[in-house]
Structure 1
């Protein structure tokens, strides 16, 4: 377990984090500090606790929006997977139909060739 100092709203806090997560925790603290400073610029000195709560609420608001976008994209992805599966099924059906049609045409050509060979008799065989 590592310990680092972060500064939020002008105050230092000693925080514990997992090994290797120090840089991430510093970036999170910087993001929160930036939000607090932005709100202070908009609203002035309205109290440390209120600024911190407002900053946390704006972060939660962005997180909720991001979660909703992710859920919508996951739903869209699932729908697209369904469309892809249906298209693949149609492609297989079309391929089967074309194969059957070609085999049928080849059979008819073969039968026609046999009839012509019998009709011509002793002449030169066709095919």
Structure 2
């Protein structure tokens, strides 16, 4: 396992990655940052929890609609990584919602 730092919403997050998956995780972090920027542009000032929630919702909508920000290979490994990322995002959103209460 290695560790990468993702810069999202003005903060640095240290995230563990499996060896060889660091670049994919960094790309995913860039997508989350872009969606945070999109949410902020569309809705103005949001709490961190709301911002991350909307970013996760936009990413989930892209996945559900079959959209992709970048070309991906259609194979089981890619699907498993996408599902793991969606699970991580959902867990983060839940923790943020609890912290905001």
Q: TM-score per shorter chain, which class?
A: 0.5 to 0.7
Shift of 1:17: 0.6
Aligned to 2:65: 65
Instruction: Provide the C-alpha distance between the structure 2 equivalents of 1:3 and 1:42, rounded to a whole number of angstroms.
Output: 32
SS at match of 2:46: coil
User: Which runs of structure 2 are paired with 1:11-26 in the superposition (5 Å)?
Assistant: 11-26=11-26
User: Which runs of structure 2 are paired with 1:83-98 in the superposition (5 Å)?
Assistant: none
Shift of 1:9: 1.2
SS at match of 2:45: coil
Matched residue pairs, number?
67
Say which structure is richer in helix: 1
Between the two structures, name the one with larger relative contact order (CA 8 Å, sep ≥ 6). 2
Structure 1 length normalisation: TM-score?
0.50
SS at match of 2:51: helix
Aligned to 2:76: none
Structure number, greater radius of gyration:
1
Structure 2 length normalisation: TM-score?
0.63
Q: Deviations over 1:69-90 (max 9, x none)?
A: xxxxxxxxxxxxxxxxxxxxxx
Question: Structure 2, unaligned stretches of length 5 or more?
Answer: 68-101
Q: Deviations over 1:35-79 (max 9, x none)?
A: 001111111112111011001001111111119xxxxxxxxxxxx
Cα RMSD for the two superposed structures:
1.3
Instruction: Provide the C-alpha distance between the structure 1 equivalents of 2:3 and 2:15, rounded to a whole number of angstroms.
Output: 5
Question: Structure 1, unaligned stretches of length 5 or more?
Answer: 68-127
